[in-house]
Amino acid sequence: MIIEILYNGRCPICSAEITHYREQAEAVQARLSFTDLHDADLEGWGLDVDQATRRLHAREDGRILSGFPAFLIIWRELPRLRWLARVLSLPVLRPLADLGYNRVAAPALYALHKRREAKAAQS
């Protein structure tokens, strides 16, 4: 079964990271597919554009995971990153990694996205 990854293709940081993951996935024929949220049927994900933009999302077996758990799914599927998934899944580290993503990384990327979108609208 394919694991679908929903990401913000208008975010240069997100796109660069997804490109890296996509290359690794293709090299090992991992069961990952990557979809830019701007090309996706967000209704099928149960998300609106703003919700989709705020975090990375993954759908596996009909179950949607958002934020740090979505990264864990990707990393578990990629042989070169499985170690990272194992380490950051440890009981002490997982809450810290989740907190770092939810309180620092995701809000910062979302703020940058909103700034880029506002600039683009002014142009």
Summarize pLDDT for 108-117 with one digit per residue, the tens: 999 999 999 9
Task: Write down the pLDDT at residue 98.
Answer: 96
pLDDT values of the chain reduced to their tens digit, one per residue, 123 residues:
999 999 999 999 999 999 999 999 999 999 999 999 999 999 999 999 999 999 999 999 999 999 999 999 999 999 999 999 999 999 999 999 999 999 999 999 999 999 999 998 998
Pairing of strands 63-66, 32-36: unpaired
Domain ranges, residue 47: 3-122
Q: How many domains does the chain have?
A: 1
Task: Determine the distance from the C-alpha atom of residue 108 to the mean position of all C-alpha atoms in its chain, rounded to a whole number.
Answer: 14
pTM score, whole prediction: 0.94
